[in-house]
Structure 1
Amino acid sequence: MKRNMGWQLLALVAGLVLTVEARAQEVSAGAAGSFGNTGQIVISSDFRATIGYTSVSGPGDQFLIDLRPSVDYFLKENLSLGGTVYLGTAFQRGDDPLLVGVGIRGGYNIPLNSSVSVWPKLGLAVAHSDGFLGFGERTFLEVSLSAPFLVHLAPHFFFGAGPGLITQLGDDTVATLHVSAVVGGYF
């Protein structure tokens, strides 16, 4: 009986050592390259950024470019604060309308597994348009909420898509529910 207890004790100690070693490797691998660590800087573009071609009455056919480059910083584990710049134009007959703006946003990354997370963000921006997307000249406040699901296929690179809601408040109030894509990297 005493001999069996010795083997059982040895097996128990070996199992505990292997479990602790495996857990330590898992934590250090996740801490080194996972998205959302404190101090990470994320550079991305939300592809509500549009490059498109539309045919409309009035000015005629338009070729649109609407870019929204963004930079975010993780203040704490998974908690981000960032900013974005709005740059848009439409090439058409006559004057080319322009969209410019700047905004701030906060987000919280929620890891779902080792390669997928969801990163909901709430943003506030001020923008000016002189006829972009047919709204005429106006300055507006934009409140946005998005929740893209991110896929981290390679270290420091992600892409994703998800639902979003944008409300523009000004002379004309516009609410848009959409699905947008995002691509970015972090260091």
Structure 2
Amino acid sequence: MRGNKWTGLALVAGLAVSSQAVAAEEPDLNSNPGRASSFGNAGQMVISQELNGFIGYNTASEVFLVRLEPSADYFLQQNLSVGASALVAFGFGDSTVVGLGVAGRVGYHLPLSERVSLWPKVGFGVQFGHIPDNSDVNFVLDFNAPLLFHVTPNFFVGAGPQVRALISDRGFSLGADQGNFSGSDVTIGITTTVGGYF
């Protein structure tokens, strides 16, 4: 009887130790969250991919426009960044549009809470565009302000408003009829971003 008692106690102790070991192996996603204050330090390099889907509003023509923009940014000093992005655009609707280009940009990081921050950026670049029977080179003026959520250290996701103007002396842009930029080729939409930094 006494042997059964010790056997029972040993079994209970073994189960308790095993359950603690299993609990220790389970990852805790909140144990090491990302922090907005650790982003934007001088010397940090940020690699990100921005995906822009503009469903509907362009002042030149009605198109569904999708843009992919792989980007790299470097923080020169606390919260002040400079960077560049490749521009790849596809448009469908009144006309089929293909655009390729590059843009430089400047940004400023604004921590809002422990895990949320705002990173507005303004950029300027050049884009080659092609529609059926016409090609042109456009200057690109861009502003976007994604709200970032710092998921883990060195990784973030975000989304925010974007305004982009295409400036052309031939009126190509997205099929605009006017010869010069006069507020007639501005696209307003939402940009999403995912990235990491080191």
Equivalent residue number for residue 153 of structure 1: 151
Deviation at 1:88, TM superposition (A): 3.8
Deviation at 1:158, TM superposition (A): 0.5
State whether structure 2 residue 83 is matched by structure 1 residue 85.
no
Do the aligned partners of 2:35 and 2:150 also contact (CA within 8 Å) in 1?
no
Q: 2:41 aligns with which of 34, 37, 54?
A: 37
TM-score by length of 2: 0.63
- 5 Å-filtered alignment, 1:29-68, equals 34-48=38-52, 66-68=67-69
CA deviation map 1:81-110 (0-9, x unaligned): 00011134579xxxx964210110000000
| Aligned-partner SS, 1:39 | coil
- 5 Å-filtered alignment, 1:1-187, equals 34-48=38-52, 66-88=67-89, 98-131=98-131, 136-170=134-168, 171-172=170-171, 173=181, 174-187=185-198
Residues 64, 71 of structure 1: alpha-carbon distance in 2 compared, 3 angstrom cutoff: same
Give percent identity, aligned residues only. Answer: 39
Instruction: Tell me which protein shows more helix as a share of its residues.
Output: 1
Paired AA for residue 144 in structure 2: S
CA deviation map 1:13-62 (0-9, x unaligned): xxxxxxxxxxxxxxxx979x7110100000011111x5x9xxxxxxxxxx
Where do 5+ consecutive residues of structure 2 fail to align?
Answer: 1-33, 56-63, 172-180
> Separation in 1 of the partners of 2:103 and 2:133?
20
Residues 66, 147 of structure 1: alpha-carbon distance in 2 compared, 3 angstrom cutoff: closer
CA deviation map 1:133-164 (0-9, x unaligned): x7941110010111110000111010111111
- Give 1 or 2 for the bigger CA radius of gyration: 2
Do the aligned partners of 2:35 and 2:153 also contact (CA within 8 Å) in 1?
no
User: Which structure has the higher relative contact order (CA within 8 Å, separation 6+)?
Assistant: 2
Where do 5+ consecutive residues of structure 1 fail to align?
Answer: 1-28, 53-62
TM-score by length of 1: 0.67
